[in-house]
């Protein structure tokens, strides 16, 4: 279950961000392995019309600013990830896939969880402190991804948090405690964002730049 932080996404693709929200939003629900996917099962927004108000709030498209901008993201997420996840009975339709993703996001309550842990924007953190804090709440090891240091940035920027589930949708470790971050293409989310597993050490949790509004 992947959430991303709009302030960091907008730093990377600032020319495309329009009115980004000031809270963590869903990026997607991604099966580990893309096996048995049905690429011909095309996205149909009619099937999720009952979910649209929640989808627009919790799962907006940060990168496209057209009037129906979020349809672009939802179509991509369904056709790339949802058609693979649909092997599970609990996720075997577009309504189930998007509906269960919203449910899992609400259960994780990442925004309020970080606030309760005292993890707030405009602050520097040790990556280990963020992971340990999340483990203390969820009981499992998350995967934390950063935008690497670039240009005038002093440190890597907190960008994305993944919390992993088993096939029966029970929380499980993304990586075992002490396991080194994976290397290679499987370790990175979409190249368009240029994110990577956060390196050990310091990161910055940026506040939303209000000039992006």
Least confident of 12-26, 108-122, 170-184: 170-184
**pTM of the entire structure?**
0.88
Look at residue 92 and give its three-state secondary structure: coil
> Looking only at Cα atoms, what is the longest distance across the chain?
48
Q: Where are the beta strands (DSSP E) in the chain?
A: 2-4, 25-28, 123-126, 143-147, 156-162, 164-165, 171-172, 196-197, 202-205
Q: Is 81 one of the catalytic residues?
A: yes
Is a pLDDT exceeding 50 seen at residue 212? no
- The pLDDT assigned to 72 comes to 86
Map out the domains of the chain with their CATH numbers. Answer: 2-179+190-205 (3.90.730.10)
Q: Is 213 one of the catalytic residues?
A: no
Instruction: Give tens-digit pLDDT for 66-104.
Output: 656 678 899 999 999 999 999 999 999 999 999 999 999
Catalytic residue among 3, 4, 12, 81: 81
Decide which of 106 and 65 is more confident: 106
Instruction: Give tens-digit pLDDT for 14-50.
Output: 656 778 899 999 999 999 876 668 888 999 999 999 9
- The pLDDT assigned to 188 comes to 38
Q: Is 64 one of the catalytic residues?
A: no
Catalytic residue among 3, 12, 77, 196: 77
Could you tell me if 143 and 175 are in contact, meaning their C-beta atoms sit under 8 angstroms apart? yes
- The pLDDT assigned to 194 comes to 84
Catalytic residue among 3, 4, 12, 27: 27
Tell me what the mean pLDDT of segment 115-132 comes to: 97
């Amino acid at each position: 279950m992947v959430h991303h932080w709009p302030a960091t996404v907008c730093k990377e693709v600032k020319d495309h961000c329009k009115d980004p929200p000031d809270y963590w939003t869903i990026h997607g629900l991604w099966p580990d392995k893309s096996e048995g996917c049905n690429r011909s099962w095309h996205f149909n927004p009619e099937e999720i019309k009952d979910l649209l108000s929640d989808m627009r709030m919790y799962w907006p498209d940060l990168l496209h600013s057209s009037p129906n901008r979020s349809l672009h993201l939802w179509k991509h997420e369904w056709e790339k990830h949802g058609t693979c996840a649909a092997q599970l009975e609990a996720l075997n339709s577009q309504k189930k896939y998007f509906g269960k993703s919203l449910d899992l996001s609400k259960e994780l309550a990442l925004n309020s969880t970080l606030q309760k842990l005292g993890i707030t924007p405009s602050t520097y953190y040790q990556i280990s402190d963020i992971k340990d804090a999340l483990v203390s709440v969820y009981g499992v090891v998350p995967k934390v991804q950063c935008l690497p240091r670039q240009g005038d940035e002093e440190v890597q920027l907190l960008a994305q948090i993944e919390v992993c589930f088993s096939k029966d949708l029970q929380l499980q470790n993304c990586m075992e405690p002490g396991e080194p971050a994976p290397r290679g293409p499987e370790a990175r989310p979409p190249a368009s964002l240029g994110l990577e597993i956060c390196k050990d050490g310091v990161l910055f949790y940026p506040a939303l730049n209000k000039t992006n509004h």
